[in-house]
Structures are given as C-alpha cells and as structure tokens.
Amino acid sequence: MTLRIIDKIIHGIDTSDGAGVNLKRIIGNPELNMLDPFLLLDEFGSENPKDYISGFPSHPHRGFETITYMLNGKFRHKDSFGNEGILSDGSVQWMTAGKGVIHSEMPEQTDGLLRGFQLWLNLPKKLKMIEPSYYDIPQEIIPKVDFPRGSIKIISGTYNKVKGPGNPHTEMFYYDIMLDDNAKFNIPLKNDWNVFIYVYEGSIMLDKQVTKQNLAVLNTTGDLEISTTNNNAKLILVGGQPINEPVARGGPFVMNTKQEVLQAFSDYQNGLLDK
C-alpha cells in the first residue's frame, strides 16, 4: 500500500479581517496562496470578546462557496435575500455565493469563547454565476463514526459508507477527526486530489510530525495513515478534486479573469451584484 507523505508544512499568519476579528490565515497567505480547489482557510478563536465581537458586517461575495464550521460559540448570518440563520457549537453553514450575495456574520458571545474555521471552496467557470444559496447544518445531523481510539465527524463526503450532509458543487470531502493517544487512523484517498490536514489540538505523525496550528499539504498519490503517540489530537482533514482553471482574485470576488473581477466590483458599486 502506498501512503501519502507530507509535501510541505504551513504555519499560517496572524491577521485580522472583517471589523477587526483576529484570526490565523492558513490558506490564502504568502506561504500558500491556494490549494486548488481551496482558496482560503481561516481559524478564528479567542476567549476575549474584544478579539471578535465586531464580527463581519455586510460584505459581498461572488464566484465560490464558503464553509463555516463552528467548534464553539455562535454566529448570526443575514444576507441580502432576506435569509437569516444562526450557527452554534458544532454546526456548519454552507453558503454558495454564486453570482453574488451580500451578507453579514456577527458573533454572539458564548461564555467569552469563540472558535471555528472558514474554508473557501472555488467554483468552476460554468457554475460561478449560479443562483446563490445557503443552508445551516446543525451538529445533530453531522454523523460521527467511532473507530479504535478515535472518531470522525463527516461534514461532507463519505467514510465507511456513511455520507455527510454537506452538498458541495465540486468533488470534495471535509472531516473532523479526534484521536486518543497511541491511535492509528487509516483512510483511502483518491489519487490526484489535493488533500490537507490542519491540526487544531495536540500533534500527529505521518512521515513527520505535525503540531498544533500547523497545516500539512500532502502529496497526491496513495492513501493516508495518521498516528499519535503520547497525546490526544484533533484535526480537520479536507480534500478535493482540482478544478484546474485560471483564478483571478480581488478581495471578496474570485473569478477566472481580471475583467470578471472588475465587473464584480462594478456590479457591487452599482447595486447589481445580487440582482
């Protein structure tokens, strides 16, 4: 059996976004601009409300999907189509920006603690201008599969014939994995898919060690084996089929050409983005 090894380890950068929310940007920074089809990965988290309480006031998106996974705390979502929802501990919001949406994401304090991830998933050219949509996935409907010395939550994709509720427009999977000490976890992966691991608690071992708040980009051939030694670990495991199309980015817009990005800015400025 061929096992994947680590191609590179990314530390990410501490930054802020929205109205001053402190976060760590792991994908979408100078170390790792993107990992097709993944455009951005942020980890946000603090026990100090001043680090996040101003949230993400109304802002536009076009051309991709956002997947927000809350470990702790709450986010209230509102968009320009009148939709509203609230994310709570362990839940996921899946938003397809498509041709354009203007939305806000505002935190609601839970004992001072807020922690989670936001992943941007690119859309291929043929789908970039589809109708926007979003749906909330409560913790209760995310399946959890136990295995010796660990468990896996299936947000999207299939593991051991158990399918997660996430419904992406491209081929991808998203798992949250918890490992006890001295655990070993194996999973088959599709060749040529881009796959990454982000460790948010503890440390794990592949061909080398990956410690807390580091992202491991894997090579593109073989299956995966993860182990722990004298510590517990928590990680997200995410993979997807590359889209292999040109990417033009401009702030909240991700298109195929610079002209399309400029058109998105023009549409937003003229009130046409979400029309």
- Provide the CATH number for the domain around residue 211: 2.60.120.10
Rounded Cα distance, 110 and 44, in Å: 14
Q: Is residue 274 part of a domain?
A: no
Q: Is residue 242 part of a domain?
A: yes
Q: Is residue 77 part of a domain?
A: yes
Rounded Cα distance, 31 and 15, in Å: 14
**Within the chain, which residues score under 70 in pLDDT?**
17-20, 46-57, 109-112
Q: Residue type at 152?
A: I
Q: Is residue 56 part of a domain?
A: yes
pLDDT for res 57: 65
**Digit-coded pLDDT (tens) for 23-58:** 899 999 999 999 999 999 999 876 666 666 566 667
Q: Is residue 28 part of a domain?
A: yes
Q: Is residue 92 part of a domain?
A: yes
Q: Which of 39, 15, 14, 16 is nearest to 28 (CA)?
A: 39
Q: Is residue 42 part of a domain?
A: yes
Domain hosting 87: range is 6-269
Q: Is residue 78 part of a domain?
A: yes
CA angle 40–43–44, rounded 5-degree value: 125
Q: Number of structural domains, the chain?
A: 1
